[in-house]
Chains A and B, each alone.
Chain A
Amino acid sequence: MRVWRSGAALALFSSFACASDSRFTFQPAQTVIARDIADIHNWIMLIIAVIFVTVFGVMFYAIFKHRRSLGHQAKPFHENTIVEILWTLIPALILIGMAWPAAKVVLAQKDTHDATLTIKATGYQWFWGYDYLDSGFSFKSKLKTPRSQIENYNSPGEPKDEKYLLDVDEPVVVPVNTKVRILTTSNDVIHSWVIPAFGVRQDAIPGFIRDTWFKAEKEGVFRGQCSELCGRDHGYMPIVVKVVSQNEYKDWVSKRQAAAKAAADDPNKNWTKDELIARGQKVYESNCVACHKADGKGGGPFPALAGSKIATGPAEAHIHIVLTGKNAMPSWAGLTDTEIAAVISYERNSFGNHDGDFVLPKTVKAARK
Chain B
Amino acid sequence: MNAATKALHPGESVGEQVHGHTHDHAHDDAHHGAQEGWRRWVYATNHKDIGTLYLWFSFAMFLVGGVMALGIRAELFQPGLQFWQPEFFNQLTTLHGVIMVFGAIMPAFTGLANWMLPLMIGAPDMAFARMNNWSFWLLPPAAALLLISLFVPGGAAAGGWTLYPPLSIQAGMGMDFAIFAIHLLGISSIMGSINIVTTILNMRAPGMTLLKMPMFAWTMLVTAYLLIAVAPVLAGAVTMLLTDRHFGTHFFKAAGGGDPILFQHIFWIFGHPEVYIMALPAFGVVSQILPTFARKPLFGYVSMVYAVCAIGILSFMVWGHHMFAVGFPATAQLFFMFMTMLIAVPTGVKVFNWIATMWQGEMTFETPMLFAIGFLCLFTIGGFSGLVLALAPVDIALHATYYVVGHFHYVLVAGALFSLFGAAYYWLPKWTGYMYSEFWGKVHFWWSMIAFNITFFPMHFLGLAGMPRRIPDYPLQFTTFNSMASVGAFLFGTAQILFLINVIRTIRGGVGPAPARPWDGGHTLEWEVASPAPHHTWETPPDEATVVAGLRLQGLEHS
B454 to chain A, nearest CB (A): 16
Residues A37 and B384 in contact, CB atoms below 8 Å apart: no
Least CB separation from A188: chain B residue? B166
User: Closest Cβ of chain A: how far from B35's Cβ, in Å?
Assistant: 44
Task: Give 8 A-B contacts (CB < 8 Å), ordered by A residue.
Answer: A37-B393, A52-B384, A75-B360, A76-B297, A88-B348, A152-B82, A188-B170, A189-B167
Q: Which single residue of chain A is at the shortest CB-CB distance from B462?
A: A23
- Asked if A347 lies at the interface with its beta carbon under 8 angstroms from chain B, I say no
Residues of A within 8 A of B473 (CB): 150, 165, 235-236
A-B pairs with CB below 8 Å: how many?
293
Known A24-B464, A150-B81; contact A109-B338, beta-carbon cutoff 8 A: no
Interface set, chain B 453-477, CB cutoff 8 A to A: 461, 464-466, 468-477
Docked-complex contact B167 and A203, CB < 8 angstroms:
no
Q: Is chain A's binding surface mostly helix, strand, loop or mixed?
A: mixed
Q: A201-B397, A203-B325 are in contact. Are A234 and B166 (CB under 8 A)?
A: no
**Residue on A nearest B327 in the bound complex, by CB:** A210
A62 partner, pick from B359, B380, B480, B555, beta carbons under 8 A: B359
> Given A24-B464, A72-B362, A207-B255, is A235 in contact with B344 using a C-beta cutoff of 8 Å?
no
Cβ of B480 to closest chain A Cβ, rounded Å: 7
Binds A, one of B9-17, B101-109, B329-337, B498-506: B329-337
Smallest CB–CB gap between B400 and chain A, Å? Answer: 4
- With A and B bound together, what is the CA distance between A62 and B472 in angstroms? 44
Q: Evaluate whether A190 and B80 lie within 8 angstroms (CB atoms) in the complex, with A74-B296, A228-B400 already known.
A: no
A84 at the B interface (CB under 8 A) = yes
Interface with A: B121-129, B185-193, B206-214, B299-307, which one?
Answer: B299-307
Given contacts A106-B334, A106-B392, A160 and B80 within 8 Å (CB-CB): yes
Residues of A within 8 A of B (CB): 22-27, 33-34, 36-37, 40-41, 44-45, 48, 51-52, 55-56, 58-59, 62-63, 66-69, 72-80, 83-84, 87-88, 91-92, 95, 98-99, 102-103, 105-107, 109-110, 149-153, 156-157, 160, 162-166, 184, 188-190, 192, 194, 196, 199-203, 205-208, 210-212, 224-236, 330
Given A76-B297, A165-B473, A201-B325, are A62 and B361 neighbors across the interface (CB < 8 Å)? yes
User: Is B355 part of the contact surface with A, judged by Cβ < 8 Å?
Assistant: yes
Q: Identify A109's interface contact among B261, B396, B476, CB under 8 A.
A: B396
How many Å lie between the Cα of A76 and that of B554 in the bound state? 9
Residues of B within 8 A of A44 (CB): 387-388, 391, 394
A24-B461, A164-B476, A202-B325 known; A37+B394 contact, CB < 8 A: yes
Report whether A74 and B361 are in contact in the complex, using a CB–CB cutoff of 8 Å. yes
A28 to B153, CA, bound (A): 45
Q: When chains A and B are docked, how far (Å) is the Cα of A229 from the Cα of B159? A: 7
Q: Are A107 and B396 in contact (CB under 8 A)?
A: no
Query: With A102-B391, A110-B329, A110-B333 in contact, do A87 and B349 touch (Cβ < 8 Å)?
Result: yes
Residues of chain B within 8 A (CB-CB) of A210 are 326-327
